[in-house]
Structure 1
């Protein structure tokens, strides 16, 4: 038995929606596990995918809002689709205790903190001149373009304080883009 094309699309959309909802639930659960128990009560986590129309960013980001009962709140984003987010990736990028404590009290706190970004930038996997492939499209197989790293710790005017992109890349077609995270889902070594 064969399904008509319009039934296939409906089934595919429903499967994708179920996968996304399951990923959202996992991210919410993992986020709650990361937040210290003493400030966890009443916290609300909201997860959603955000499509980026800017050709220089990941096609889809996962945005995570953390809302505390005292009115404090924070937001973080991962340049990945929700189903690509693992607990390990979330833990590596999640705000740490001091920031969470301030948000829990209703105070403002930068994430990532500017002082952490300056002088303590993490070691990157690639260096200037390395040949890489960057995710530039939604398709996990064909949505990649080859290029070369031309700058480390790139930032643009108008970006929020403390915001950096690990890499600026010149694609083989001449366009300059940036990789918003140093993870294989966004940037990887060129296949030989």
Structure 2
């Protein structure tokens, strides 16, 4: 059940109280989306935080040249949104799109504010910010590696065999043909 998965995910970040778990049940709205659905789009306001119970989501932005760059791949158990847009009530700077069919929970900003009465919410919010910053750091570190090492680093974290090659190659800043060659060598390996 998605709400149990959300409670467990939050509890691994910081212990949460039973009253908070109960209130989460009342405000978390189940959402099922098919493959290739935009959950949020660049330049639009967005007032929800999402929990990915099942499926995969990519986060992409556009370079000045107009090229789409995949900067995030979210896996089951991820809590995500465009943090700046969500907390500052600004327009989004990233598009989030389902890679596969996804089961999510959505929590509106106003409903989340009601949970600030719980002391653990400050720690949870800070931890989620730090995790997002850590993802940026790890991705930057990965992109500085040579392609085979970059792929290995990626393969240790992501289920590359179930994700489309094109998406993985973009995420790793590789041509798809190079990605497929390195992947084949890795699988033989």
Give the TM-score taking structure 1 as reference length. Answer: 0.31
**Greater relative contact order, per chain length (Cα 8 Å cut-off, separation 6+):** 2
Q: Give 1 or 2: higher helix fraction.
A: 2
Q: Give 1 or 2: higher strand fraction.
A: 1
Structure having the higher Rg:
1
Give the TM-score taking structure 2 as reference length. Answer: 0.31
